[in-house]
Structures are given as structure tokens and as C-alpha cells.
Amino acid sequence: MLEDRDLNTNKMENMIYIQLLNEGTKVYRPVPASEIENKVYRIGGEEIYDPDEEVWEFPPGTVVIVEEQILEGENVLLAIKVKKTKKL
């Protein structure tokens, strides 16, 4: 898995997987994401996101909860749902 330290924010950037919609079968796209807390990530990838080419289940900027899953024999972090925010 790709891990880079963002020197500006001091956060770890990881590769997570997002399901692509409207593909006819389950297809996943690896995208960069910054860990906010345990199992919670903010999706990056603004520079590779093209909604005319692919429909991501969660677009860049979305805060998601991930879980570990095995895809093609590799243990990966898969975005499974949007993280709900607390209302004040």
C-alpha cells in the first residue's frame, strides 16, 4: 500500500479503494486518502477524478468509513459508507 507523509498537514496519505458505479460488475478504483482517525478517511484524488469517465461511489472530499477486505488476494481498505457528522 502507498503511504506518504504530507508535510503540510502532517497526516498520512494511504491508498483506499472505492467502488465504481454503472460498470455492470463490481469494479474498484484505488484512490489516495488522508486518515482522519481510525478507519475514517477523507478521499483525495481530485486530480484523477473525471465524472464523465467514471462514477465513484464517493467523490473526492467525502469523509468515509473503511473496512479491511480482500480484493484479488490483497488485503485493502475499502470505503463502505459516509461518515455521519454530529450536529451541534
What is the secondary structure of the chain as a DSSP string? --EEEETTTTEEEEEEEEEEESSSS-EEEEEEEEEEETTEEEE--TTT--TTT-EESS-TT-EEEEEEEEETTEEEEEEEEEPPPPP-
Cα 20 to Cα 28, 55, 69: the distances in Å are 6, 6, 16
pTM attached to this predicted model = 0.81
| Arithmetic mean of pLDDT, 29-42 | 97
Q: Which of 14, 5, 3, 10 is nearest to 64 (CA)?
A: 14
Q: Does the structure show a pLDDT above 80 at 7? A: no
pLDDT tens digit string along 46-72? 999 999 999 999 999 999 999 999 999
